[in-house]
């Protein structure tokens, strides 16, 4: 059977008639005009033109055939014998792998997929749960293979591929049950094993205008009270009015809240310290994705978040380090009366950096010390950020050298940078900066009043880093670069008086603390685990290993080795964005061979398949040579002047 790899090119075949069209349009018949002066002359026959007319017709047909051959060769014709045509494999004899998306976003539409799931029968069937964040609605206990849990889609896809590899090509089927939420499909997963048939089962994707509870923060307040702050998010395109209900000690407290489109909003509760610290927050009315409309939390003040500040202990930077420590340490440790501290700050010199356990700190402050760290420590710092840490870097005595060190380690965005001593200041906040909530345009602040005497002129693309602050000239003053699971906050001016008066401004303390609070985000001192994640064993105060004895299938509150643990809904499940089925198939079949192994081996031995392509190329070359042989002698033949009178 003849087929084409690019059949859409066959629509160009009518263009092969272009020589005929040119001939008809370019050779009009001239009109006959009678001229009295030549009426007594005998007409002169021109037999040469008549003899050449059939040659011109053949040449025109040859050119039409040449253009048609070019189009057909470009379309890549293939000849597949009739017995090699694809036929659906027998499901009783082939291996079938089933990937079931067990995420919370699929549970509302799981009933649409249950019949297709129950129809999968055969002697060799294996099942994998993808994510395993909640218990499936129907347990396939009637099947012999049972379920194998997997923590992520790439891991489950790899395990299914390895299992299918034991079956011959053409006898492999991969079933994927998923709602194709884009948060779960963030990278290419292919290739599939050759000869694998992919069946994608997707439910009707609802148009979800989802709202959910993002974060809960509990702090101490005067007179034996707690301040509970709730941050909510609206992923929809329209503003959504909601009511936040706090249930604590058997009492309910309500607060109205309007969530802007594609934005966040917060509300606070002031309540007495409860006897039972287990609290519940709810959003009403609930939407069609009720999984994130409820949050269980510990209603007790969180212990301070540990931070590590690294200063340069080089003798030439003594005064600089003392000045940075004088301004930064009080700004991070100052708290109002009767309030629990938010941060627990520890200081360290660059000479002691190789001996520090950075992984114990969710955030690290590199204050004027980037150029003093050796390359191996910069590499250690990059791995720390990729694992989920937060880095805040401030230039020191050599800003350009420190920036180059950060760039070489991949902590700073690539691009040109130069040092400037031209005085400037902070300009308007760029659109989308998270600091707009802290410094709105209508609020008075000295953020735009202090001078900057020495800074770095950095040029970078928006895909490399986000600009949170910019100077009056529009140059970046503060950059946020995502790296792995963590992020880097990079200032282009220093926190000392030789560089700027920023530490003397009233905006210094709230800006620095807000940056760290937003960057830490889910780094709560109360340990938080997403539903479906497996908590790792840990040591108690006596050094003994403790195994977790609680389930993470559903949200809840647990105690684990003297540590409070909140099992929270997965943040990515709240995003109501879906992939088209075609895009998911492309990701699953990326780089997959178009032929199975049997067809590929036969194409090397039999004169079928892709061998039509070289034969078409040979025909094309032959037609070119034939046209050249035909046209070249006529172009070289001298044309003798024709006499209007016949020879005597």
Spatial contact of 293 and 211, defined as CB atoms under 8 Å apart = yes
Band (pLDDT 50/70/90 cuts) for residue 455 is very high
The whole-angstrom separation of Cα 17 and Cα 270 is 83
- Indicate if the pLDDT at residue 643 is higher than 60: no
Q: Please classify residue 234 by burial: count the beta carbons closer than 10 Å to its beta carbon, then call 0-12 exposed, 13-18 middle and 19+ buried.
A: buried
Q: What pLDDT score does 648 carry? A: 47
CB atoms closer than 10 angstroms to residue 622: 12
Strand, coil or helix: 162:
helix
- The mean-pLDDT minimum among 207-211, 276-280, 578-582, 610-614 falls in 610-614
Spatial contact of 390 and 343, defined as CB atoms under 8 Å apart = no
Q: What pLDDT score does 326 carry? A: 92
Express each pLDDT in 543-571 by its tens digit. 566 777 777 767 777 777 656 787 877 77
Band (pLDDT 50/70/90 cuts) for residue 532 is low
Query: Helix 18-26 to helix 47-74 angle, to the nearest 10 degrees?
Result: 150
Q: What pLDDT score does 544 carry? A: 64
Spatial contact of 530 and 494, defined as CB atoms under 8 Å apart = no
The more confidently predicted of residues 473 and 138 is 473
The more confidently predicted of residues 577 and 198 is 198
Q: What pLDDT score does 631 carry? A: 59
What is the distance, to the nearest Å, from the Cα of residue 60 to the centroid of all Cα atoms in its chain?
55
Spatial contact of 241 and 267, defined as CB atoms under 8 Å apart = no
The residue-averaged pLDDT of 149-165 equals 76
The residue-averaged pLDDT of 599-627 equals 54
Query: Helix 399-408 to helix 375-386 angle, to the nearest 10 degrees?
Result: 60
Q: What pLDDT score does 254 carry? A: 93
Express each pLDDT in 11-33 by its tens digit. 777 877 777 777 666 655 666 66
Express each pLDDT in 334-381 by its tens digit. 876 656 677 888 888 988 888 887 777 889 999 999 999 988 899 999
Q: Please classify residue 489 by burial: count the beta carbons closer than 10 Å to its beta carbon, then call 0-12 exposed, 13-18 middle and 19+ buried.
A: buried
What are the CA-CA distances from residue 529 to residues 154, 298, 533, 570 (Å)?
Answer: 20, 14, 7, 8
- The DSSP code for 512 is H
The more confidently predicted of residues 1 and 181 is 181
- Which tokens is 103 given? 């995420």
Q: What pLDDT score does 138 carry? A: 38
- Indicate if the pLDDT at residue 126 is higher than 80: yes
Element (H, E) at 232: strand 225-234
Closest CA to 390 of 316, 317, 306, 488: 488
- Indicate if the pLDDT at residue 592 is higher than 50: no
Express each pLDDT in 187-237 by its tens digit. 667 677 778 888 888 888 777 788 989 888 888 888 888 889 999 989 888
Express each pLDDT in 31-60 by its tens digit. 666 667 666 667 666 554 444 566 677 777
Band (pLDDT 50/70/90 cuts) for residue 140 is very low
The residue-averaged pLDDT of 433-453 equals 84
The whole-angstrom separation of Cα 416 and Cα 401 is 13
% of the chain residues with pLDDT over 70: 72
The residue-averaged pLDDT of 430-454 equals 84
Q: What pLDDT score does 80 carry? A: 58
Sequence-ordered strand ranges (E) for 102-210: 124-130, 147-150, 172-177, 196-201
Q: What pLDDT score does 53 carry? A: 63
- Indicate if the pLDDT at residue 134 is higher than 60: no
Q: What pLDDT score does 5 carry? A: 66
Q: What pLDDT score does 632 carry? A: 56
From first CA to last CA, the distance across the chain in angstroms is 67
Q: What pLDDT score does 188 carry? A: 62
The more confidently predicted of residues 512 and 592 is 512
Beta bridge partners, 557, equal: 566
- The mean-pLDDT minimum among 171-185, 244-258, 397-411 falls in 171-185
Q: What pLDDT score does 216 carry? A: 86
Q: Averaging pLDDT over each range in 60-64, 139-143, 273-277, which range is the top one? A: 273-277
- Indicate if the pLDDT at residue 627 is higher than 80: no
- Indicate if the pLDDT at residue 394 is higher than 90: yes
Express each pLDDT in 474-519 by its tens digit. 999 999 999 988 899 999 999 999 999 999 999 999 899 888 888 8
- The mean-pLDDT minimum among 271-280, 308-317, 400-409, 555-564 falls in 555-564
Band (pLDDT 50/70/90 cuts) for residue 529 is confident
């Amino acid at each position: 059977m003849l087929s084409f790899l690019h059949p859409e090119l066959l629509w160009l075949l009518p263009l092969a008639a272009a020589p005929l069209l040119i001939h008809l349009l370019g050779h009009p018949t001239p009109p006959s005009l009678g001229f009295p002066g030549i009426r007594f002359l005998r007409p002169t026959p021109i037999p040469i033109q008549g003899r050449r007319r059939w040659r011109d017709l053949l040449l025109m047909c040859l050119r039409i055939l040449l253009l048609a051959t070019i189009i057909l060769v470009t379309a890549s014709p293939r000849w597949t014998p009739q017995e090699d045509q694809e036929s659906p494999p027998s499901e009783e004899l082939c291996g079938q792998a089933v990937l079931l998306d067990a995420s919370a976003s699929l549970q509302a539409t799981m009933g649409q997929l249950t019949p297709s799931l129950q129809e999968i029968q055969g002697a060799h069937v294996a099942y994998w749960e993808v994510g395993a964040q909640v218990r499936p609605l129907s347990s396939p206990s009637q099947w012999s293979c049972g379920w194998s849990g997997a923590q992520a889609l790439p891991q489950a896809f790899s395990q299914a591929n390895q299992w299918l590899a034991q079956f011959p090509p053409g006898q492999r089927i991969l079933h994927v049950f998923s709602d194709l939420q884009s948060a779960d499909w963030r990278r290419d997963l292919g290739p599939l094993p050759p000869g694998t048939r992919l069946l994608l089962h997707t439910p009707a994707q609802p148009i979800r205008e989802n709202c959910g509870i993002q974060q809960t923060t509990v702090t101490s307040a005067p007179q034996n009270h707690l301040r509970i702050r709730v941050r909510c998010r609206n992923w929809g395109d329209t503003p959504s009015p909601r009511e936040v209900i706090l249930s604590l000690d058997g009492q309910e407290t309500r607060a109205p809240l309007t969530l802007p489109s594609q934005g966040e909003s917060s509300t606070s509760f002031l309540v007495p310290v409860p006897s039972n610290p287990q609290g519940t927050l709810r959003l009403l009315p609930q939407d069609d994705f009720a999984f994130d409309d409820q949050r269980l939390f510990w209603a007790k003040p969180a212990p301070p978040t540990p931070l590590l500040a690294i200063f340069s202990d080089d003798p030439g930077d003594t005064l600089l380090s003392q000045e940075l420590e004088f301004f930064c340490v009080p700004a991070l440790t100052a708290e109002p009366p009767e309030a629990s501290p938010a941060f627990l700050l520890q200081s360290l010199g660059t000479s002691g950096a190789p001996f520090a356990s950075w992984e114990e700190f969710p955030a690290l402050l590199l204050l004027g010390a980037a150029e003093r760290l050796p390359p191996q420590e910069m590499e250690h710092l990059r791995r720390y950020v990729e694992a989920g840490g937060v880095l805040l870097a401030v230039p020191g005595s050599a800003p350009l050298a420190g920036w180059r060190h950060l760039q070489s380690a991949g902590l700073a965005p690539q691009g040109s940078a130069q040092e400037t001593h031209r005085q400037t200041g902070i300009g308007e906040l760029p659109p989308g900066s998270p600091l707009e909530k802290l410094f709105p345009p209508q609020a008075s602040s000295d953020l735009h009043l202090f001078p900057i005497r020495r800074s770095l002129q950095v040029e970078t693309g928006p895909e490399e880093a986000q600009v949170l602050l910019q100077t009056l000239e529009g140059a970046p003053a503060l950059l946020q670069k995502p790296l792995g699971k963590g992020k880097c906050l990079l200032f282009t001016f220093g926190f000392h008086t030789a560089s700027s008066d920023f530490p003397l401004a009233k905006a210094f303390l709230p800006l620095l603390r807000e940056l760290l609070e937003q960057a830490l985000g889910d780094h709560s001192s109360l340990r938080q685990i997403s539903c479906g994640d497996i908590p790792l064993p840990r040591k108690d105060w006596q050094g003994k290993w403790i195994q977790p004895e609680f389930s993470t299938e559903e949200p809840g509150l647990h105690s684990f080795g003297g540590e409070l643990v909140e099992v929270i809904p997965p943040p990515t499940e709240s995003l109501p964005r879906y992939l088209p089925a075609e895009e998911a198939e492309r990701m699953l079949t990326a780089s997959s061979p178009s032929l199975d192994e049997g067809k590929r081996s036969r194409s090397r031995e039999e004169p079928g398949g892709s061998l039509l392509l070289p034969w078409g190329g040979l025909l094309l070359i032959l037609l070119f040579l034939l046209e050249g042989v035909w046209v070249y002698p006529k172009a070289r033949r001298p044309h003798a002047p024709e006499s209007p009178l016949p020879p005597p």
